């Protein structure tokens, strides 16, 4: 897998967010350095805790929507069953109106969940960028490698030398980015950051770099110290340590390496178990039930896949997965306790107030008045529809019968008097 570490993301929004998060990460590193602690692994853990703590309000909003969604689901499923197989425009419109009425009843928007996810997604992607590309965003780490990068790029033909080194050492996680005929300084930084302690030693022994062997050795010592996390180099793969154990490497280090994928799987499974689950009963809709089953399968497979990936990904990325899942689990426990104290009625009332404020700002009438107006319009339409569908022949027949009844009216009745007036008018017209 290719790894471009020192090159920042150019994706809109994600790139900007990653830059800001990089400042935070670098600030954490500098703060720890004040206390004599230089450890990127610890920075990753603290960084994950901080970012997910700041995202707590978004998580709470998401959980509130999920809580109401679980209550709404039977009503929505009932509407879906009601109009199942009806594809005409009138039925589709009625289905949409009834569905919208359910959302209005609970004071939520159909896109409420999407909005929260849309906000969280770029934050999480930016977070991943920072963890995956440490030298690009953490200036303190890049500075450690700066002198070695300057020395290497000053050697004639350094690009070909490094490329041969990458090939000989089977470094599949890094590539050289070219600027014309030479590799960029950022890609050289990437190359150095991805080196294992043994590869640093080999690089220092390269004949073309013999003039600054001390610089390479001192840089290797400093960066290895920074990258060390309980005996593991965060730039190495857990699989590397496991393989080394079979040829005389440390068994304890191999066990520590195996723990990274195991913890990645376990913490994510715990997090999924703590998340509010959707209703388990079938909806009656084959497509919807299939989607639910797919989600269940995904929830089982994804943590397992994370564990598999952890064996071949850098240890630092595995630490992030473990730390973030653990933080989310603690966060979810706190949110669950908070949500248990909230009554559904209070939640609906809160949503209604927020909705009315938004309508007021937009210059719209209160939702209650709007609903009444819509209902009145529906009633009028029903009356008009009923009148327009009246059979013309039936109406004519009723009129004819009324005339006959009038002709046989009882003497002295209002109808009889009306007949006399009618006869008088007809005689005058003839004159």
The counts of H helices and E strands in the chain are: 19, 4
Q: Which two tokens stand for residue 82?
A: 């009601």
Query: Residue 198 contacts by C-beta under 8 Å, 6 or more apart in sequence?
Result: none
Q: Which two tokens stand for residue 323?
A: 């730390």
Query: Residue 138 contacts by C-beta under 8 Å, 6 or more apart in sequence?
Result: 22, 25, 26, 29, 40, 43, 130
The confidence score (pLDDT) of residue 288 equals 55
8 Å CB contact between 47 and 24: yes
Strand duo 178-179 + 232-233: pairing: unpaired
Mean pLDDT: which of 48-57, 170-179, 398-407, 417-426 is highest?
48-57
Using a pLDDT cut of 70, give the percent of the chain over it: 74
8 Å CB contact between 192 and 138: no
Res. 266 pLDDT band, cuts 50 70 90: very high
Q: Is the pTM of this model over 0.75?
A: no
Cα 288 to Cα 297: distance, rounded to the nearest angstrom: 14
Long-range contacts of 242-245 (CB under 8 A, 24+ apart): 242/311
At 214-247, the pLDDT tens digits run: 999 999 999 999 999 988 988 888 988 898 888 8
At 276-312, the pLDDT tens digits run: 654 444 445 555 556 666 767 777 788 888 888 888 8
Cα 187 to Cα 173: distance, rounded to the nearest angstrom: 12
The confidence score (pLDDT) of residue 409 equals 58
Tell me the sheet residues that pair with 183: 178
The confidence score (pLDDT) of residue 377 equals 35
At 70-116, the pLDDT tens digits run: 778 888 888 888 888 888 888 888 888 888 888 777 777 766 666 66
The domain spans of the chain are: 241-285+294-340, 346-388, 392-430
DSSP 410: P
Res. 207 pLDDT band, cuts 50 70 90: very high
Q: What's the chain's average pLDDT?
A: 78
The count of other CB atoms within 10 Å of the CB of residue 137 is 26
Q: Which two tokens stand for residue 211?
A: 């003039």
The count of other CB atoms within 10 Å of the CB of residue 313 is 23
Over range 50-54, report the average pLDDT.
87
């Amino acid at each position: 897998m290719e790894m471009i570490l020192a090159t920042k993301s150019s994706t809109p929004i994600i790139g900007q967010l990653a830059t800001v998060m990089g400042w935070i990460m670098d600030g954490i590193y500098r703060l720890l350095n004040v206390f004599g602690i230089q450890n990127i692994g610890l920075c990753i853990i603290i960084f994950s805790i901080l970012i997910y703590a700041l995202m707590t309000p978004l998580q709470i909003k998401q959980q509130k929507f999920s809580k109401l969604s679980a209550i709404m689901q039977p009503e929505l499923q009932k509407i879906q069953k009601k109009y199942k197989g009806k594809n005409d425009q009138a039925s589709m419109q009625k289905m949409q109106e009834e569905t919208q009425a359910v959302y209005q009843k609970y004071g939520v928007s159909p896109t409420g969940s999407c909005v929260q996810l849309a906000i969280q997604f770029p934050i999480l992607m930016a977070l991943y960028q920072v963890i995956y590309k440490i030298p690009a965003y953490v200036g303190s780490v890049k500075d450690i490698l700066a002198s070695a990068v300057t020395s290497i790029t000053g050697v004639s033909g350094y690009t070909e030398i490094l490329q041969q080194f990458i090939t000989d050492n089977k470094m599949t996680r890094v590539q050289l980015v070219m600027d014309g005929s030479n590799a960029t300084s950022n890609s050289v930084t990437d190359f150095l950051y991805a080196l294992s302690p043994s590869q640093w030693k080999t690089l220092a022994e390269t004949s073309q770099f013999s003039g600054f062997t001390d610089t390479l050795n001192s840089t290797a010592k400093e960066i290895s110290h920074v990258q060390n996390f309980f005996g593991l180099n965060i730039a190495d793969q857990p699989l590397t340590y496991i393989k080394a154990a079979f040829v005389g490497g440390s068994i304890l280090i191999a066990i520590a390496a195996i723990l990274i994928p195991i913890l990645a799987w376990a913490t994510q499974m715990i997090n999924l178990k703590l998340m509010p689950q959707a209703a388990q009963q079938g909806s009656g809709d084959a497509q919807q039930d299939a989607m639910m089953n797919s989600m269940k399968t995904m929830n089982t497979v994804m943590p397992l896949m994370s564990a598999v990936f952890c064996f071949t990904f850098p240890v630092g990325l595995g630490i992030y997965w473990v730390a973030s899942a653990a933080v989310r689990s603690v966060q979810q426990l706190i949110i669950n306790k908070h949500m248990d104290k909230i009554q559904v009625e209070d939640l609906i009332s809160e949503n209604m107030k927020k909705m009315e404020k938004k309508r007021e700002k937009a210059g719209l009438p209160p939702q209650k008045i709007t609903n009444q107006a819509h209902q009145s319009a529906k009633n009028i339409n029903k009356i008009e529809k009923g009148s327009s569908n009246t059979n013309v022949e039936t109406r004519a027949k009723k009129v004819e019968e009324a005339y006959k009844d009038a002709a046989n009216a009882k003497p002295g009745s209002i109808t009889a008097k009306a007949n006399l007036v009618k006869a008088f008018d007809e005689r005058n017209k003839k004159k």
